[in-house]
Amino acid sequence: MKEFDYSSRITPENITKLKSNEVFVYGANEVGIHGAGAAKLALKFGAKYGEIGYNGQSYGIPTKDKEIKVLSLEDIQDNVTSFINFAEMSNLKNDNKIFLVTKIGCGYSHYTPKDIAPLFSMAINVPNIYLPLSFWKVLETNYINTNYRYQNINCCANCNNVKTPSYPFDWKCKKYGMIVNGDKGICDDFDLRKL
């Protein structure tokens, strides 16, 4: 696998202002109470009380539930995936938006970059998503510059149903247990393999 250079896609450590095409991506709670940390700063960039997702020049990814309890990594993954899909659509529309992801989930939600970064593995090939350096370091170790031998098959022999966009990583079929390389496309029964 070819080496990946993420050096031009690192979120600045301390964001105090944004360019007109930049979007501040922060960890939120499901009720949109932006009372502390990056969520409070997001108010400066257009976040609205009672709302999450895309507002102004901000995008809130829930890491806490409606009772302000920390979400499971599985639930956060769903929210991250929604965000990645949104950013990917923005990129396809050529609207020049750059999404500056902060260390979501690593403050008041008490996760570490090692926990959260793998949730962003699908963002590796989305050029308008910038990640914190600590996330890139985890992704580099786990996903980017690995030298795996992949099976060059399209999905798996059991279903051969390709629907999902392709990504050059190991994927494990939830249904049949097969591990394949996703560079040719995979079906909805596949999850990114935990390394």
Cα end-to-end span (Å), the chain = 16
Please determine, for residue 114, whether its predicted confidence score (pLDDT) is greater than 90: yes
pLDDT value, residue 172: 54
- Tens digits of residue pLDDT in 134-172: 999 998 887 655 433 333 334 444 454 544 444 445 555
Instruction: Grade residue 180 by pLDDT with cuts at 50, 70 and 90.
Output: low
- Tens digits of residue pLDDT in 76-102: 999 999 999 999 999 888 899 999 999
CA 188 vs CA 81, 152, 168, 174: distances in Å? 13, 18, 16, 9
Question: Of 36, 89, 32, which Cα lies nearest the Cα of 66?
Answer: 32
- In this predicted model, which residue has the larger pLDDT, 66 or 159? 66
Residue 19: exposure state from Cβ atoms within 10 A (0-12, 13-18, ≥19): exposed
Query: What CATH number does the domain located at 22-144 have?
Result: 3.40.220.10
Q: By mean pLDDT, which of 73-77, 160-164, 180-184 is the weakest?
A: 160-164
Structural domain spans, the chain = 22-144, 148-190
- In this predicted model, which residue has the larger pLDDT, 150 or 47? 47
Q: Hey, what are 86's tokens?
A: 């949104």
pLDDT value, residue 57: 98
pLDDT value, residue 182: 52
* Residues of the chain above pLDDT 90, percent: 60
Amino acid present at 188: D
- In this predicted model, which residue has the larger pLDDT, 173 or 113? 113
